[in-house]
Each structure stands twice: as C-alpha cells, then as structure tokens.
Amino acid sequence: MVQFCKKKYKKNKINFLLKDIDKFKISNCCIISSFYTIQFISPKKRQMLINKIFKGLNWGGAFFMVEKVRGPDARFQDMLNQVYIEYKLSQGFTESQIISKSKSLKGILEPFSTKGNLDLIKRAGFKDVITVFKYGSFEGFLAIK
C-alpha cells in the first residue's frame, strides 16, 4: 500500500511511512485520522496510544477515529452481528468465507463499544467529541483538542 501510494501521489507533497504506531513519535499535528486501525491495538496499550495522540495534537487540532464497534449489550451485539453476516451473504460471500474471516480475526480485532471508545477519548483529555458517522457496527468519532 505504501509503495502504491508513493507512486499514485508522487506529485503531492505527502510522506507515506510504514511504522508501528506504538514506536512512532507524534507531535505538532493539526489532524490525526485513524481508520479501522485502533481496533487492532492491544486493549492494554490502547489508552496509552490515545493519550499520545491527544498530547501530539496542537490546540484546536482534530482526531478522527473510525472503528468497528460492539453493541452496548449482548442483545444489541447479537443484532449487529446478524445484520452484518446477512449483509456479507447478500454481497456474495460464502458461509465458510465469513466464518474463516471471523476465526482469523479472533484475538486480533478487538472492538470496543461506543461508550468504551468515548471513555478512551475522554480519559485522554478530549472534552469535545461527537459521532460523525454511524452505520451498523461502524462508527466514526471526531474529537477536538
């Protein structure tokens, strides 16, 4: 993807880096965006990462965080899961492909609920947060420092 982007956007002044976010220094940023990535960071390290993002933003800077989210309780989680499975089937994926993807992500993709994500963002220091996108199990937050 990095090679692809470097080639595609060679005329733009954009740096594409392949780094582990845990080891990457964040400072003097106006916008930080994360699309379906924080859900892969170990839950025990997640708060430290959001704290680092808060610290790395300039005052008034924006953090866009889009994640797969769990439902607020078991019933809603079951409903969201069922709707998503039905959507995948309607898109032509087989039952075996759906189960195999779900098995491959077990213990790797660890979504938090909406509240879990908002708690992370607020504990880091953000006071102004809204949901800017929500579709089934997918939600985008905008937090402004």
Ligand X SMILES: C[S@@+](CC[C@H](N)C(=O)[O-])C[C@H]1O[C@@H](n2cnc3c(N)ncnc32)[C@H](O)[C@@H]1O
Q: Which residues bind ligand X (CB under 6 A)?
A: 20-22, 35-37, 40-41
Q: How far apart are CA 88 and CA 39, in angstroms?
A: 20
Helix 95-104, helix 74-90: angle, nearest 10? 130
Nearest approach in angstroms of CB 133 to ligand X is 13
Nearest approach in angstroms of CB 61 to ligand X is 19
Q: How far apart are CA 58 and CA 131, in angstroms?
A: 21
- Closer residue to ligand X, CB minimum distance, 40 or 60: 40
> Quick one: which of 145, 143, 5 has its CA closest to 67?
143
- Closer residue to ligand X, CB minimum distance, 39 or 54: 39
Q: How far apart are CA 144 and CA 30, in angstroms?
A: 10
Q: How far apart are CA 4 and CA 91, in angstroms?
A: 27
- Closer residue to ligand X, CB minimum distance, 35 or 87: 35
Nearest approach in angstroms of CB 127 to ligand X is 26
- Closer residue to ligand X, CB minimum distance, 20 or 73: 20
Q: How far apart are CA 13 and CA 41, in angstroms?
A: 29
Nearest approach in angstroms of CB 1 to ligand X is 7
